[in-house]
A = this chain, B = another copy of it.
Amino acid sequence: MKGREAIKKGLALVNRSTIAMLGTNGAQGYPNIRAVIKMENEDLKRIWFTTNTSSKKVAQFKKNPKACVYFVDFDKWIGLMLIGTTEILQDPESKQRFWHEGFEKYYPLGVSDPDYSILRFTAQWGKYYHNLATTTFEI
């Protein structure tokens, strides 16, 4: 598969996914993974997540912004790994932009809750997996 086709198929997977796996560099040099809700994406280049400012992943990104975002379609056995860096956004505009009804469950003080943060992931390259074959591409 050529890079352009892998990007197209990878983007289709991201567009239809609501959940991603987010990888960080955790304590003592171990990788850490957790499922996160994808809020928005801009092609494969940028992906936004919301999170508790007090969460482990925010502390980990403050120390080391290197990240992996992985999307998977279990039924079709398709995987997409994106590698890049993550910024922590706390400006009112970003917080307003991604606020959703029901978020009080996670952030009781509302949109200005200091425990509410946005993660903005920027991809550098990706790897698309399907049918035993992988295709690596720059983004």
Interface residues of A (CB under 8 A from B): 19, 21, 23-26, 28-35, 64, 66-68, 70, 72, 74, 79, 81, 83, 105-106, 129, 132
Contact = CB atoms under 8 A, between A and B. Distances in A.
Copies of this chain: 2
Contacts of A21: 21, 33, 70, 72
Most chain B beta-carbon neighbours within 10 Å: one of A64, A72, A106 = A72
A66 B106 contact: no
B31 A32 contact: yes
Contacts of A72: 21, 35
A79 B35 contact: yes
Nearest to A23: B31
Most chain B beta-carbon neighbours within 10 Å: one of A35, A68, A105 = A35
21 contacts: A21-B72, A23-B23, A23-B31, A24-B31, A25-B25, A26-B68, A28-B66, A29-B64, A29-B66, A30-B66, A30-B68, A31-B31, A31-B33, A31-B66, A31-B68, A32-B81, A34-B70, A34-B81, A34-B129, A35-B70, A35-B72
Most chain B beta-carbon neighbours within 10 Å: one of A24, A25, A30 = A30
